[in-house]
Amino acid sequence: MKKMFVMLLCLAILALGTGAALAEGTKLTVSGSGTVLVESDLAVVTVGVREASTDVLVAQSTVNEKIAAIKQSLLDAGAKESEINTDSINIYANYDYSDNTEVIVGYTANNTLSVRTTDIDNVGALIDAAFAAGANTLDNVQFTVQDDSEAREQALTKAVEDARRKAEVLAAAAGLQIASIESIAESGVYTYDSMRNYAMMDAAATESGGAGTLVQAALVSVDASVSMEFELQ
């Protein structure tokens, strides 16, 4: 009986020693994320012209004339020459597939311009100027920031803090503590509109005979994520 007790005691001591060794060598990997919202100070408006004709040269020339008028209208509305650039140009054939045949019935020409501006309050006026000059498509209104370096650093700091909090919770739940940080890896930092932005016709302006485009600038979201490995004890 005494020998059996000694044997069981030895086994218990060995088990405790093995458990302690495992605890000291345990690794924990967690991910963390951080988000910072900043006010946009740069807008990119993309407008264009799409025209169809049975004659490809007519479609092309009509679009070219309107694009030239739109560009001049944007300049008159306050945009700078260096802020306006061609976004895309394309011409494609239109087909009629009736009677199980493929017949070209016309052509569609498309040309879009992008204008960058730091005058956020003037975005609606630029859109109005473009449409008054002949634009018939509004492809996008994107808000961003000129310099997101400070926001990126803040987002990364928040991501690390988030990962550390998660690690502490998980370690405590397992009855352990963080001994050291083994590694930190940045998973990515992204800057984008925090919501969709829509251009809307101002109802009051429309009722009074005018057409004013109301554009609400969005906050810009800067998101960062990291992966961290901890050693527990």
Q: What is the CATH number of domain 42-144?
A: 3.30.70.2970
Residue of 163, 157, 132, 141 lying closest to 66 (CA atoms): 132
Q: What's residue 47's pLDDT? A: 97
Q: Using CB atoms within 10 A of its CB, is residue 129 exposed (0-12), middle (13-18) or buried (19+)?
A: buried
pLDDT tens for each residue of 23-62: 557 999 999 999 999 999 999 999 999 999 999 999 999 9
Q: What is the CATH number of domain 25-40+146-233?
A: 3.30.110.170
Does this chain's domain 25-40+146-233 share its CATH topology with 42-144? no
3-class secondary structure, 34 = strand
Question: Which pLDDT band, with edges at 50, 70 and 90, does 11 fall under?
Answer: very low
Statement: residue 18 has pLDDT above 80: no
- The domain limits of the chain are 25-40+146-233, 42-144
Question: Which pLDDT band, with edges at 50, 70 and 90, does 224 fall under?
Answer: very high
Q: What's residue 215's pLDDT? A: 82
Average pLDDT along the chain: 86
Helix axes 123-132, 56-76, angle to 10 degrees: 140
Least confident of 71-80, 91-100, 124-133, 209-218: 209-218
Q: What's residue 211's pLDDT? A: 54
Q: What's residue 8's pLDDT? A: 35
CA–chain centroid gap for 143, Å, is: 10
pLDDT tens for each residue of 67-119: 999 999 999 999 999 999 999 999 999 999 998 899 999 999 999 999 999 99
Asked if residue 37 lies in contact with residue 221, where contact means CB atoms within 8 angstroms, the answer is: yes
Which residues are bridge partners to 192 per DSSP? 221
